[in-house]
Structure 1
């Protein structure tokens, strides 16, 4: 009977439902899924990438988790390093639970083999197949923005990439992105109602000036799908108007100012094969329990402690280039109605009457389930003295950070 593993790949922003995973060096080994979901195997999940950029490289470690669970357990207190065939050793430190960064900055170099080494806190040891940089570097010629209709007839914004390798040596590409967008709370008030005390016959919820910025924030999303393609067999090693992101015009991320960081990776053939197969597994996940459902995908990390132990994930060594752009809604939709907010926004006037512990207005403010908007100067029967709104409408920190990103340009 097959065991089932569920895991979300957080490092690259890719949400992945993985089936039973068997790790060996055959990168595209896939078997049909058989059996029922009534057993579980706890395995290490590795997410690691080294690029040619000189920086603190990153490795993410977690564990598989059950279907009924929401978050993966984090693998903490591991010893992580990367070794090379020319004798270099790069030690990593855990900067936050499950996230390990190299102590020293370095970048992958052409002709050097890199091997990931892991020892978990329980003494289990793991290693990867030696991986090499496929090309010395990659360059995106341009990223562009275009107002378009997609194949489904939806109007929106297309983010496209142009790239050309005159040497014809890149061939295998992957793209991802991180988007950042300004959020302005549509029903924000400079005032806030705070709970102080409630008694049998009285309560105290004064209105004060807000203590932090909650009107303008910045939201961030990572790409949630795998975007890979190959120019193998084409006349030129060229990408022209290759779409890496389509944003429907009704998406609230476009409402004010928008920025996107697009990253292009050139992959080794076996790395491309891994991602391409993984993409197929994700696309077929709507029929997870069908008889023809693919089963497990092999990675390139294995256990040194127990050759029968399964390990999920992949250690990637790739060339990378990245570019960022900014634009405003008015740049492409001048004078047109803004996209709707992420949720509909309405006013609420919860009652302040009732006995101790049952006053709706007091409980809402104490529990933080709504935000103050204004005074209800003419309360009707059953209404309280304050007008309240949902947090997403009156407090932008529920949707993003009130800290301006270092890279942000108005």
Structure 2
């Protein structure tokens, strides 16, 4: 989740744009935005303790300047969560991810309260409000063929029901994984003959040392997805979380999605709803102007210090589904591949008109080739190349099969 980080950047960018517009009277000229001298290094915290028995995570970063590429992780902090039974759960920095991860696996228990404590390396201390676990509400996920805004596709629906009507507020995340098959992939690649040191070397065919035909792509949701049942006769959710157009190549083979439903309390739902409203404002001069969105964390040293983020204790339920294109659409045409694959034939010679030896050499030696070798013939008088995704799926996805994958 990068919503909170994006919000901070939006806040400073908006202030910079408004200042320039007011000072020059128009925004018709290009301007390279930079953070002014009043930039504040604000602590940004993302923490959600759930009912899953696992090593829980806390993400701590700093707001960053407009000219910087991204946030810096806060290192050297002392992080722990304390429950109402005075049990202390310590967290330690995981260097490769930048996250603070609990030393031991634990889960939030109904009826207990939890509080997040952070002490930064410069000695500043921060404390969250106490939070209790929200009710557990199981979900069901189903793909349906639908037409949305005139476009046919697959609507991923999420449904749940709380007969006790105590859930009401929901936040969702999903992660989708899809199979990619490169139809022009071969188990052979072209290399320069290592025994030929001339300026116009020979090429030879050798076996590839990796899988290039079947890969798996993965994407995570990057939006704040919220729903609630306030004012409804039942605490029942029937929510469209993801629409995939019928022409989208990610459903051409096999597709999987895991949806996570977090049951929130009113305060955490309001925080994320406000954050969503501020971060998706379409106009800088609209009625909704970005402001500071305070969460439930405070400095114990300076009550006026700004800190962004929310410490949440929420129940989570998840569901993963798989489907093939033909499971949903029986007669429709399959979606096209990610790009239009057009094989290119090159003459493997050097001196006569039409020769492409130097082009072939450049493609073979390229570390990140735009085209890859494709042919099932030993004769190399003519060499066939295709765009990289068409012949090597690793250029757009991973050739490592996920552990959860079921064909």
TM superposition score category, shorter chain reference: 0.7 to 0.9
Gaps of 5+ in 2: 21-32, 352-356
Alignment-derived partner of residue 131 in structure 2:
131
Name whichever structure is richer in helix by fraction.
Answer: 2
Out of 321, 324, 328, the position equivalent to 2:320 is: 324
Distance 1:399 1:181 in 2: 12
Alignment-derived partner of residue 337 in structure 2:
341
Pair 1:61–1:394, CA change in 2 (3 A): farther
Alignment-derived partner of residue 230 in structure 1:
228
Q: What SS class does the counterpart of residue 224 from structure 1 fall into?
A: coil
Q: What SS class does the counterpart of residue 276 from structure 1 fall into?
A: helix
Tell me if the contact between 1:46 and 1:61 (Cα under 8 Å) persists in the aligned partners: yes
Q: What SS class does the counterpart of residue 215 from structure 2 fall into?
A: strand
TM-score by length of 2: 0.83
Tell me if the contact between 1:351 and 1:359 (Cα under 8 Å) persists in the aligned partners: no
Alignment-derived partner of residue 26 in structure 2:
none
Alignment-derived partner of residue 51 in structure 2:
52
Tell me if the contact between 2:180 and 2:214 (Cα under 8 Å) persists in the aligned partners: yes
Alignment-derived partner of residue 206 in structure 1:
204
Displacement after TM superposition at 1:215 (Å): 0.9
Tell me if the contact between 1:34 and 1:291 (Cα under 8 Å) persists in the aligned partners: no
Q: What SS class does the counterpart of residue 374 from structure 2 fall into?
A: strand
TM-score by length of 1: 0.82
Alignment-derived partner of residue 371 in structure 1:
372
Tell me if the contact between 2:5 and 2:71 (Cα under 8 Å) persists in the aligned partners: no
Displacement after TM superposition at 1:330 (Å): 0.8
Displacement after TM superposition at 1:348 (Å): 3.6
Alignment-derived partner of residue 18 in structure 1:
8
Tell me if the contact between 1:181 and 1:254 (Cα under 8 Å) persists in the aligned partners: yes
Displacement after TM superposition at 1:69 (Å): 3.9
Q: Does 1:300 align with 2:296?
A: yes
Specify the structure having the higher radius of gyration (Cα): 2
Distance 2:305 2:346 in 1: 57
Displacement after TM superposition at 1:171 (Å): 0.8
Pair 1:171–1:390, CA change in 2 (3 A): same
Alignment-derived partner of residue 108 in structure 1:
108
Distance 1:351 1:45 in 2: 58
Distance 1:145 1:20 in 2: 35
Tell me if the contact between 2:125 and 2:300 (Cα under 8 Å) persists in the aligned partners: yes
Alignment-derived partner of residue 27 in structure 2:
none
Out of 303, 310, 314, the position equivalent to 2:306 is: 310
Which aligned pairs between 1:4-403 and structure 2 lie closer than 5 A? 9-10=1-2, 16-19=6-9, 35-36=19-20, 38-39=35-36, 40-95=39-94, 96-135=96-135, 137-140=136-139, 142-150=140-148, 152-194=149-191, 201-203=199-201, 205-240=203-238, 242-284=239-281, 286-288=282-284, 293-304=289-300, 306-349=302-345, 353=350, 359-367=358-366, 368-369=368-369, 370-374=371-375, 385-403=382-400
Distance 2:142 2:70 in 1: 36
How many residues are treated as equivalent by the alignment?
380
Distance 2:382 2:297 in 1: 62
Distance 1:44 1:342 in 2: 40
Tell me if the contact between 1:19 and 1:295 (Cα under 8 Å) persists in the aligned partners: no
Displacement after TM superposition at 1:298 (Å): 1.8
- Structure number with higher relative contact order (C-alpha < 8 Å, ≥ 6 residues apart): 1
Pair 1:322–1:204, CA change in 2 (3 A): same
Pair 1:65–1:196, CA change in 2 (3 A): farther
Cα distance per residue 1:94-140 (max 9 Å; x no partner):
332312221211111223221222334444433322222232x2212
Bigger drift between 40-49 and 87-96 goes to: 40-49
Alignment-derived partner of residue 26 in structure 1:
none
Cα distance per residue 1:132-158 (max 9 Å; x no partner):
2232x2212x221110001x1111001
Distance 1:61 1:196 in 2: 52
Q: What SS class does the counterpart of residue 93 from structure 1 fall into?
A: strand
